[in-house]
Amino acid sequence: MELTELKDKIITSFKGNRSDLADILQIIEKDNAVFPFNEYELLINSLIEKKGLTYAKYLEIRQEYINNNPNLWVFEISAPRGFGESFAQTYLSGMCKELQKPSKKFDSNYNGEYDFWLDGIKIEVKASRVVDSKSDEPLYRKALSTHTKRPFLMNFQQLKPQCCDVFVWLAVFRDEIIIWIMSSNEVLLHPDYSKGQHRGNKGNEGQLHIRETNIGTLDKYKFTGKNLKTAIQKAAKRNIN
């Protein structure tokens, strides 16, 4: 359930006078909401005040929305580093306890090029939140679900296939987190992979734009099991073959 669907759900749950509803919607349309007071807070309170929406019904709608959007809080993480490291890497560590932070203890040549070490496998983690690319609203308001028909853009950038064995990518939708696991060669050979992200970097970094039009190219790399360690090991073997 996205925000437009939530608004429709609230409105259709109103059992009071239609003219009261029309008046409320007109007020909402003209209102200049300021955080933390928003159109939904005003809408719900107005509908309850008109006796057309019960508090119990409001709680039901609220719980349904929370259940359908378990990842919405992730879109409120403002710092890119907080999202990429604090959330994405912690999320993966919770799935696979064997993932270790790399150091010269494991790799004498390590210099911050990748994020995890797993039995000799060098792993780089990239993550992106899926939002409406046509919207200028805050992330949490333009967050999309997996069944969206809206355009979106995920830019996996600063990719260095030469520095790792496996890439683990997370796409955070408001209702689901999709994980793709690819060998570095599979990233390098992807038809949409672009070498030379920045002018003058001599091809050391690349990027891959994933949109609604090409997201299907990653389907075969989607992690669907429960054993993340095994999936990473299989991807590493594909890098050798």
- pLDDT, tens digit, for every residue of 130-183? 999 999 988 888 999 999 999 999 988 889 999 999 999 999 999 999 999 999
Helices 3-12 and 55-68: crossing angle in degrees, nearest 10, is 160
Domain end position, chosen among 20, 52, 68: 68
Claim to verify: residue 121 and residue 221 sit in the same structural domain: yes
- Per-residue confidence (pLDDT) for residue 241, from 0 to 100: 64
- Cα separation, 198 vs 21, whole angstroms: 53
CB atoms within 10 A of CB 149: 6
Claim to verify: residue 126 and residue 155 sit in the same structural domain: yes
Claim to verify: residue 46 and residue 80 sit in the same structural domain: no
- Per-residue confidence (pLDDT) for residue 84, from 0 to 100: 78
Return the DSSP state at 132.
Answer: B
Q: What would the DSSP string read from start to end of 209-234?
A: EEETTTGGGGGGGB--SS-HHHHHHH
- Per-residue confidence (pLDDT) for residue 200, from 0 to 100: 45
* Burial (CB count <10 Å: 0-12, 13-18, 19+), residue 120: exposed
Q: Which helix (H) or strand (E) covers residue 239, if one does?
A: helix 228-240
Helix, strand counts (H, E) of the chain: 9, 7
Average pLDDT, the chain: 89
Q: How many domains would you assign to the chain? A: 2
Domain end position, chosen among 68, 96, 122: 68
Claim to verify: residue 62 and residue 87 sit in the same structural domain: no
List Cβ neighbours of 2 (8 Å cut-off, separation of 6 or more): 143, 144, 145, 148, 174
Residues of the chain with pLDDT under 50: 198-202
Domain end position, chosen among 48, 68, 88: 68
Tell me which residue range forms the domain holding 48: 3-68
Claim to verify: residue 120 and residue 198 sit in the same structural domain: yes
Claim to verify: residue 137 and residue 181 sit in the same structural domain: yes
Q: Which helix (H) or strand (E) covers residue 125, if one does?
A: strand 121-129
Claim to verify: residue 62 and residue 82 sit in the same structural domain: no
- Per-residue confidence (pLDDT) for residue 239, from 0 to 100: 84
pTM of the full structure: 0.83
Claim to verify: residue 149 and residue 59 sit in the same structural domain: no
- Cα separation, 223 vs 125, whole angstroms: 14
